[in-house]
Amino acid sequence: MNFSSSFFRYKPVLVFTFCLLSVTFFSCSTRVKIDNDLKKYFDEYKVDGSFEFLNNKTGQITAYNLSLDAQRTLPASTFKIVNSLIGIETGKITDGNMVIKWDGIKRSNEAWNKDMGMKEAFKVSCVPYYQEVARRIGRDTMQYWLDSLHYGNMKIGDRIDSFWLDNSLKISPDEQLGLVKKLYFDQLPFQKRTQKIVREVMTQEDNTLYKLCYKTGLGYDEQHNSIGWIVGWVEENQHPYFFVTLIKTPDKNIDIQKARLSITTAILKQMGFFEGKM
């Protein structure tokens, strides 16, 4: 298998005792299952991490490592979801095929060294493409939309073209889950066309058994830990199930891209996905 109100700040207060999980978009009546057995998947790759899963059909949440699930960290390339939404909504991205010319600077990721359309830029997580999109959007407009979405800490910092990479902007896994759930149901404050285009570019696998949509992210936090994200949903029998995996490690020798992929795939397989039976 190829597997590369919402957004309010989480406040771990005493109500946690009664609600079990004071998450961004779930009420105290939401059923929560703490699954510590999922630790084995993170241990296999010697990484810390969290996993949160929403069965939208039943409303039940399955979660591992709630303390990390509530902590904010840089979104890295998962911010391309929001950067795309804002770009399309403001007309800075006309559609999924809009090409931005390569600036001629050779980068270590060879896939980025060419002219590229938005769909391909999203798939290969092309940082230079989305840095240019952010510059075209501009600071004031970007800030307006971050505030409107209540996206994490809503901070841009000093640089409009790298704030999602340099630890200025931070978001929790729980808030990420709220974002993709709202995106799926056209509940974000964007036109339906805008949300539809982004859902389509997030689609990674689509077959008779399931549809898998996600965005990955990779970066370094302020403690120099490697951070890896996978944020999205899996759809079977026309029912969506939302998930967020976050992994972190100080060990630079660990293959974060492989770890986040394998951990997420293994957990979803354990839950019974990818067979069209959910």
Q: Which residue has the higher pLDDT, 25 or 47?
A: 47
Structural domain includes residue 275: no
Structural domain includes residue 232: yes
77 carries an active-site annotation: yes
Q: What number of other Cβ atoms are within 10 A of residue 81's Cβ?
A: 25
pLDDT band at 32 (very low <50, low <70, confident <90, very high): confident
Structural domain includes residue 4: no
User: Which domain covers residue 42, as residue numbers?
Assistant: 16-270
Q: Total structural domains in the chain?
A: 1
Helix (H, G, I), strand (E, B) or coil at 89: helix
How far apart are alpha carbons 79 and 218 in whole angstroms?
11
CATH number at residue 36: 3.40.710.10
CA angle 178, 84, 69 (to 5 degrees): 30
| Residue pLDDT, tens place only, 48-104 | 999 999 999 999 999 999 989 999 999 999 999 999 999 999 999 999 999 999 999
Amino acid in the structure at residue 26: F
Instruction: Find the catalytic residue in 6, 22, 50, 77.
Output: 77
Structural domain includes residue 239: yes
Amino acid in the structure at residue 113: N
What's the pTM value of the predicted model, to 2 decimals? 0.90
Structural domain includes residue 7: no
Structural domain includes residue 1: no
pLDDT band at 276 (very low <50, low <70, confident <90, very high): confident
Length of the chain: 278
Structural domain includes residue 224: yes
How far apart are alpha carbons 35 and 33 in whole angstroms?
6
Flag whether pLDDT at 21 surpasses 60: no
Structural domain includes residue 54: yes
